[in-house]
A and B are shown apart, each in its own frame.
Chain A
């Protein structure tokens, strides 16, 4: 229908108030405050330029957190996509009890990150553990353990998001490929991935954002340790703002996380705009 001016106000005002007031406004105020000495506990606020950012960037602890999250993202996101896609591919064609498979294979995503962290903390270590050493207490394995937990929790969600797309690829496309003698890997490369290009990009964007903000799982699993072996920028930011009361540094490092996601977001916008040639 044709929307009048009044219609548009009715339609857009509620979202503008909600997202504007509780997301955009705090984000922008936080950005402005990160160039000052602002903190809710001080009365004198001075402009400080990039001093907060310099403090964050020069902090070796933050450097370790950035390295960790880079490794975390580079390993976890492709694994989540691969495992999630693989399972969706297995469920693509009708199978007995597909609905039940789908529900059961989604369950890990329903476990809250915090509860998952608790569970794996006990599973990995302590008297009740299944291994005779604790990977979460070992500098060499702690990050890998955190990645494994995240893949366990997120890959099921990837399957959930990809399966409807895979199912709706026209049958003929698969049949053509089978007739042409394509192996299953060729079918994935030449049928599934081109058809699902936009969906895969969308899911990848969400996963990268999720990974950059990793907080809940690691909080209980390792608390960022041992040392800084599993510290993430989000844990760093939270610790500075709410535990050591170093508000400006916390806010500035929070904005660096946002900056990272926005940078990836620009790449996503660029890639999602291009239409693949069929």
Chain B
């Protein structure tokens, strides 16, 4: 019983601010419910729906790229039996902890010279690189637990590397891979600094749009901002709700010898 009360307290602390935001977005803080604040979004920030599409596409592409690349490398690490394997894996975690701010200034310069500034590909590649170390860490945990016997059987049948990966390894760890992809999607979707520094108007994601708005046009009223917040949160909430079973497979703690 105490447990339920404590959980309800936590739930209230976590969700009441958001409930208040929903009420504000629906105009229920001072009047009957209305959807007008959602339609106001397109007036206050004409590119909002475009930004939403850009955010979705870039986060999906970045998450897919990161997971593919990290899956290959994590498998390679798991089957290389390196002496320093454990240290290398933890090194990836330190790299994953490195704040983007630590290298985003020179990154913006490199991207400008490579003519990747203000391009969709530039944002996707940079976001993918930022999250790759975390993905390698997590997927390595999942792959290292896999018994190599399944692969040996396929190799005896004459299968090459890619066939073994596609037919044997991937199906066995698919839930972990999918869970990792969802978490990365959330991180990429919410990322501000990378798209902020690497774009100047052509390619805009929702966080960048929100930031510009609040920095330059302070008079945005709260109900419209609340509507923007709800619209940008809803897709993630839906994603997590639908795949909550799968998300239980996202683990940082698999013990590696």
Q: How far is the CA of A251 from the CA of B104 in the complex (A)?
A: 9
Q: Is the CB of A110 within 8 A of B69?
A: no
A115 interface neighbour in B3, B20, B75, B233, Cβ under 8 Å? B233
Residue of B nearest to A10 (CB): B161
The complex places the Cα of A227 from the Cα of B93 at a distance, in Å, of 35
Contact A250 B18 (CB under 8 A): no
Contact of B164 among A1, A23, A102, A104 (CB under 8 A): A1
Q: Which residues of B contact A205 (CB under 8 A)?
A: 93-94, 97
Say yes or no: A210 contacts B90, CB within 8 Å: no
Grouping DSSP codes into helix (H, G, I), strand (E, B) and loop, the A interface class, with mixed when no group exceeds half, is helix
Any chain B CB within 8 A of the CB of A225?
no
A15 and B110 form a contact (CB under 8 A): no
Asked whether any CB of chain B lies closer than 8 Å to the CB of A91, the reply is yes
State in angstroms the CA–CA spacing of A4 and B95 once bound together: 27
B237 within 8 A of partner (CB): yes
Q: Is the CB of B79 within 8 A of A105?
A: no
- By the criterion of a CB under 8 Å from any partner CB, how many residues of chain B are at the interface? 95
A211 to B47, CA, bound (A): 32
Q: Digit string of B1-40 for contact with A (CB within 8 Å is 1, else 0)?
A: 0011011001101110110110010000100000000000
Most B CB within 10 A of own CB, among A122, A206, A212, A215: A122
The reply to whether B98 and A269 form a contact with Cβ atoms under 8 Å apart is no
Q: Are B192 and A114 in contact (CB under 8 A)?
A: yes
Q: How far is the CA of A89 from the CA of B34 in the complex (A)?
A: 40
A90: interface (CB < 8 Å)? yes
B190 at the interface (CB under 8 A from A): yes
Interface residue ranges, B against A (CB under 8 Å): 3-4, 6-7, 10-11, 13-15, 17-18, 20-21, 24, 29, 65-66, 68-70, 72-73, 75-76, 79-80, 86-87, 90-91, 93-107, 109-110, 112, 125-126, 128-130, 132-133, 136, 148, 151-152, 154-155, 161-162, 164, 186, 189-190, 192-193, 197, 206-207, 210-211, 214, 222, 225-226, 228-229, 232-233, 236-237, 240-241, 244-245, 247-248, 250-253, 255
Provide a sorted-by-A list of 21 A–B residue pairs whose CB atoms are within 8 angstroms.
A1-B151, A7-B76, A7-B161, A12-B73, A21-B125, A22-B125, A22-B129, A27-B106, A30-B105, A95-B4, A103-B241, A110-B186, A110-B233, A122-B24, A123-B20, A126-B222, A160-B250, A164-B251, A164-B253, A165-B252, A257-B99
